[in-house]
A and B are shown apart, each in its own frame.
Chain A
Amino acid sequence: MSTTTGVLAIGTVTVATVLIGALAMRWSRTTSDFYVASRSVSPWLNASAIGGEYLSAASFLGVAGLVLLGGADMLWYPIGWTTGYLLLLVVVAAPLRRSGAYTIPDFAGWRMQSTAVRQVSTVLVVAVGWLYLMPQFRGAGLTLQAVTGAPAWAGVLVVATVVAALVASGGMRSVTLVQAFQYWLKLTALLVPLVFLVIAWRADGSPGPLDAAEWALPAADLGGARLYTAYAILVATCLGTMGLPHVVVRFYTNRDGAAARRTTLIVLGLLGIFYLLPTAYGALGRVYAPDLATGELAETVVLELPGRMLGTGAELLAALLLAGAFAAFLSTSSGLTMAIAGVVGQAIERRRWFEGRLVGVAAVRVAAAGCVVPPIALALYGSEVSIAMSVTFAFALAASTFCPLLVLGIWWSRLTRAGALAGLVGGGVTAGTAPLVTIALAPTGWTGLLVAQPALWSVPLAFALMVGVSLATPRSLPVAVDAAFARLHTPERPAAPHR
């Protein structure tokens, strides 16, 4: 692809994003608009927005790269990312919406009646958010570098600036419309070129990869380690989904609990359709671009395939794919930034800085600008952590902290403040230090595997801590658990008939 076409594709997506954001900004007036689009978003629009926000570059470019590299072993990632929504639907969607809180710390503070639990949750939201924002920014930098030859830091800065401006200007309402647009853009951007690629592949006589036997079939020789990895990936991605701050905040934009459920079911369908595509790109890549199956280059397989397989029109299709990839960077980053900014904005409001003048929308704006700085720094200097690795750690951290808090908080009336705190801190510390150990010490063998994929032991640990400490400290049970459970589990009535 020529540099001009590439810049044009990226520019178009960026301008379209800013335009839709600006359009929505006219409607965004109150603080409630800003946080949750005043809760008036319809299930289909909301589901498209959730899909658009959730399908990051790790899904758009990363899955195909992983499949190209690892074959069948890597199919667990998209399965876990989809099944995570099933768990979200079944376990948290409706009750979370009914709790009526804006953010995870809001929910935690309300359910546990505890400022300490709220504060620990705030810190964890920021930690998970930054850990997930960093690879988005880095991926954008690398893609821009590959296409235009510009230095990687330029791409990082472009994406970070657009995202911060988008969030600070329109808040959630504009993010909702932008995200919904970007789901359909991403789906089209993968689907249309794939049709042409498959036609070309069939005209070519449907060749299989040269090393079909070793690559396509699961290897049985490394039994134990492979099984551990498969289950650890499944647990982290399935359970981590419900704890991602930008995913959970979306549920507050539904009208009521039933709408939240319907929305999630649509999302489940949208994700299932989407994830059929990157796998096909990975498999075609193994046939036509096996030379890319080395390290970070693998991530570019989606962008490379049209040029390798097609003659005329390859340029246009590659530009479409690039536009989709950039939409993926923008949508996930803006959703994450909005979620972090919302939480930090609330914390700023509570502090009453500047004589209490920094409140509402102004607080979110300040927080949005501040929240993108640390991940930018990480993206620019933390180059020894691969994109796939930091995504894994973000999911593991979310799975080890917010998943037990949400599951037990919604379904177990004997959860106590001390128990919730113990689980959040215990899960957070273990899943938080695992990446540091991996980077600093780089252990090998089983130890290396255990710290590189910590979810399979850190999630049960967090659950055990929450349950165990709760049973040992019945005195720190929050008051009015019955009232809280009534709110979480009873369907909303349109109008109270006896009043």
Chain B
Amino acid sequence: MTAPERPTGRVRITSPLAHAPAHQRRSAAQEIEESSTVGAVYVRSLMRAQRRAAVGTVVLAAVSIGLLPIIFWTDLALRSWHVGPVPLVWLALGVGVYPWVWLLGRANVARTERNERTFAALMESPTDPRGPEAR
């Protein structure tokens, strides 16, 4: 390594880099297409968000439905409760579970689609940290 030369006097510019490629704005979509490191980071963060949504719904379903056998198949008083002439266990297992499962699914679809919209908005904007206004 040598010390940088000190500029002496005026420097004449002979090539204004007219033929050099212009600076390109790179969108997040391009980064992903070219499987760059930056693209992988975007995809991983989307995947983590989607995985959180999936795990949340699965845990909620597993706990709510998984508790039913314990509630009704052990010696708790709930086992023999009746609503009118119908045992509670039939209302819960024969009817109530189905709308509950549908609602869980509906909530999950809403959340995952929101994640994807956020991601799509990110795709539209260039990765330039100064934002889309900077030129």
- Which residues of chain A have a CB within 8 Å of any CB of chain B? 72, 75-76, 79, 82-83, 85-87, 89-91, 94, 206, 208, 216-218, 220, 223, 226-227, 230-231, 234, 258, 261-262, 264-265, 268-269, 271-273, 275-276, 279, 283, 411, 480, 482-483, 485-486, 489-491, 493, 496-498
Contacts and interface: CB of A to CB of B under 8 A. Distances in A.
Contact of B112 (A217, A261, A480): A261
A428 B75 CA distance: 37
B73 A486 contact: no
Contact of B30 (A90, A208, A262, A498): A498
B118 to A, nearest CB: 11
B98 to A, nearest CB: 3
Contacts of B66: 231, 234
A265 B123 contact: no
B73 A226 contact: yes
Contacts, number: 135
B50 A489 contact: yes
Given A72-B89, A218-B72, A220-B74, A279 B102 contact: no
Contacts of A230: 69, 73
Label chain B's interface by main secondary structure: helix
B105 A264 contact: yes
A346 to B, nearest CB: 28
Given A86-B61, A216-B89, 13 more contacts: A75-B89, A76-B93, A86-B101, A90-B54, A206-B85, A217-B80, A227-B74, A265-B106, A268-B101, A269-B102, A489-B47, A490-B32, A491-B116
B129 interface: no
Contacts of A72: 72, 87, 89-90, 93
Interface residues of B, number: 51
A493 B29 contact: yes
The CB with the most chain B CB atoms within 10 A, among A220, A223, A493, is that of A220
Given A489-B46, A491-B120, A216 B98 contact: no
The 10 A-B residue pairs with the shortest CB-CB distance, nearest first, are: A272-B98, A75-B93, A230-B69, A486-B43, A491-B116, A489-B47, A279-B94, A482-B40, A90-B57, A90-B54
Contacts of B39: 486
A486 B89 CA distance: 45
Interface in B34-66: 35, 39-40, 43-44, 46-47, 50-51, 53-54, 57-58, 61, 65-66
Contacts of B74: 220, 223, 227
Nearest to A411: B51
